[in-house]
Amino acid sequence: MLDPTTASRLQFALTTIVHIVFPVVSMGLAPFLVYFTWKEVRTGEAIYEQLRRFWVRIFAVSFVVGTVTGLVLEFEFGTNFAAFAATTGELFGGPLAVEGMMAFFLEATFLGIFVFGRERVSDRLYLLSSILVGLGTWLSAVWILVANSWMQTPRGFEVVMRNGNPIVTLVDPIAAYANPRFPWMFVHMQNAAVLSVALLMAGIAAYHIRSARTDDDRFWRATLKIALVALIITAPLQVLHGDAYARHISVTQPQKFAAMEAVWDTATYVPEYIVAFPTSLNDILNPRAKDIFGIGIPGGASWLASGGDAQAEIVGLNEFEGSPPVAIVFWSFRLMVAMGFWFMLLAFWGGYRWRTGELFEDGLLHRAFVWTSLLGFFAVETGWVVTEVGRQPWVVQGVMKTSAGVSPGLSSTEATLTLLGFVAVYTALLVVYVYVIRRIIRGGAPKIERAQREAPGSEVAADD
């Protein structure tokens, strides 16, 4: 049996890794659905109704599964991390409560109109429902990230003793809930969500174009073009913002930045290793191995930390109390960065082919889109690993260690058995989700029965 701390951390990591996929789908699809609905209402073109009907099915299924998996996370604060909840609940619970009462109910209420109300409400109310559903998904992200960003850079609180137990109390709401990490996390997360969905849309469209289903050809060509526009906007922004975000981390969480670069001893002119391995097999699992073979950019990590000074100093992990699992953070960060640059290259490649009129004829590009269609979600996962694992051993940076947040009465048997139960249930849930989404995708473009209203000059240029 695993010890309660390890089992609880694994269980929370598992539920988070599975859950995060569904909010990313919802947040990423939201602006597309608002656009499709606006164009459908404004022009009356059947292609936009098809786009809206196809993608709203995936949105609705993801919303349902995301709600189920998200509720479990809330319960785990009580079952596995009761000490954390008891200590920080007065401050940490506020954003979560607002998220449930405001954002979730806003999204859930108008989602009913958006999914089932097209023929029952006016165009204006229907368009408004799409906007409010999208607003609800993004507001959910606001409050979740407000809570999480406080764990990264805690502000506006003080710790008092009540009945012999430390309690975090809120003394400055603005400092606590508008702390310096929030805008970085929000922009990076929301842009990643749109980018991930754009890659998914492009991959599905490329798959159908390659399969030469001529009856849906116009639908998939329009899908690929819209996805590519989003990709061209979001992919470079993600790389640029990620660079600045890393610099912010080096200032506010130097321990996490040192783990991202695997820097143990404080040094200047630190290289940015692309790959790094111990030279001895005996040290292959030793994160403190001294003899390293690495390929890197001289001074690159110092340059990244300082914003342009290759001689800048990076404080090593040996200067801090405890350290995160360095290999996990180091490689997750590199995978995320590598995928980010690939997405940007893919966006420029697609844009170039569009400009030369070969967007729908480049088979290699289509295969690249298909193979990349899910990598956006994998990049989000690796980013969260860097964010959450990189903060260890702290659950609240510099305030409370993760081991101190575990429920005091939780036994090894209870923690291990519930972990195994979650693995079984979440695996089954993922299998069902993938089956349903696959059926929707293979079903192709929805068939439109009503008469199409043509609006001169407003047609999607799918055949350009």
Question: Would the pLDDT of 287 be above 70?
Answer: no
Q: Are the beta carbons of 386 and 333 closer than 8 angstroms?
A: yes
462 occurs within a structural domain: no
Question: Would the pLDDT of 215 be above 70?
Answer: no
Strand ranges in 93-136 using DSSP code E only, listed in sequence order: none
Task: Give mean pLDDT, residues 410-420.
Answer: 91
User: Given the structure tokens 């860097």, which residue do they identify?
Assistant: 386
92 occurs within a structural domain: yes
308 occurs within a structural domain: no
78 occurs within a structural domain: yes
pLDDT in tens, 70-110: 888 888 888 899 999 999 998 988 888 888 888 888 888 89
Which pair of tokens denotes residue 449? 């029965």
Cα(453)–Cα(460) distance, integer angstroms: 14
Q: Give the range of the structural domain holding residue 218, as residue numbers without chain letter.
A: 4-266+315-443
Task: Give mean pLDDT, residues 432-459.
Answer: 74
The confidence band for 450, taking pLDDT boundaries of 50, 70 and 90, is low
Which pair of tokens denotes residue 304? 């990244």
Which pair of tokens denotes residue 73? 């996370």
Cα(283)–Cα(46) distance, integer angstroms: 62
Q: What is the pTM of this model?
A: 0.91
Torsions phi, psi for 411 (to 5 deg): -90, 165
288 occurs within a structural domain: no
303 occurs within a structural domain: no
Question: Would the pLDDT of 461 be above 70?
Answer: no
**DSSP for 152-187, written as a single string:** HS--SEEEEEETTEEEEEES-HHHHHT-TTHHHHHH
Question: Would the pLDDT of 136 be above 90?
Answer: yes
453 occurs within a structural domain: no
pLDDT in tens, 290-318: 677 778 889 999 999 988 899 999 999 99
pLDDT in tens, 144-192: 999 999 999 999 999 999 888 889 999 999 999 988 999 999 999 999 9
Question: Would the pLDDT of 390 be above 60?
Answer: yes
| DSSP symbol at 264 | -
Which pair of tokens denotes residue 127? 């368009």
116 occurs within a structural domain: yes
Number of domains making up the chain: 1
Q: Please report the pLDDT score of residue 454 as a whole number.
A: 47
